[in-house]
Amino acid sequence: MISNNKNYVFKVLWSKNYLGLAVDKTVQNSMTIPMTTFFFWPRENGWQLLKEELSYKPWLSKDDSIDILNGYTRIINYWLTNVNEIEGIGKLIRDSSELNFELLAKL
């Protein structure tokens, strides 16, 4: 289960052909710093690449890593089901109390 942890922000590029996701860490005053590169699904196995990238961050707890991977999975599954919906990711962003999103572009 995803914790109600808003210490991380999923940066989202939403397209009908792909989904770009990156993760930032929230720091003081709601500012964020990049934590990962963008992974473009289905062009690459973003989940596996994200898991590997998170493993190189010794300061990241195992629970936070699991929460981030679960959030990534949730976003991908939502995209698969709703990619052609007019509303797109807007409903997920509004309805999610567990994840923090920033929609960078809807292409």
Query: Does 78 fall in a domain?
Result: yes
Query: Does 3 fall in a domain?
Result: no
Look at residue 69 in the predicted model and tell me its pLDDT: 93
Query: What mean pLDDT is predicted for residues 76-103?
Result: 76
Q: Say yes or no to pLDDT of 104 above 80.
A: no
Tell me the percentage of the chain whose pLDDT exceeds 70: 85
Strand boundaries in the chain, DSSP class E: 8-14, 19-26, 32-34, 39-41, 101-106
Supply the range of the domain harboring residue 59.
Answer: 8-106
Q: Say yes or no to pLDDT of 1 above 50.
A: no
Query: Does 20 fall in a domain?
Result: yes
Question: CA–CA separation, 24 vs 82, rounded Å?
Answer: 24
Look at residue 99 in the predicted model and tell me its pLDDT: 72
Q: Say yes or no to pLDDT of 97 above 70.
A: no
Burial of 71 per CB tally in 10 Å (0-12, 13-18, 19+): buried
Question: CA–CA separation, 37 vs 99, rounded Å?
Answer: 18
Look at residue 4 in the predicted model and tell me its pLDDT: 42
Count up the domains in the chain and report the number. 1
Angle, in degrees to the nearest 10, between helices 46-55 and 62-82: 160
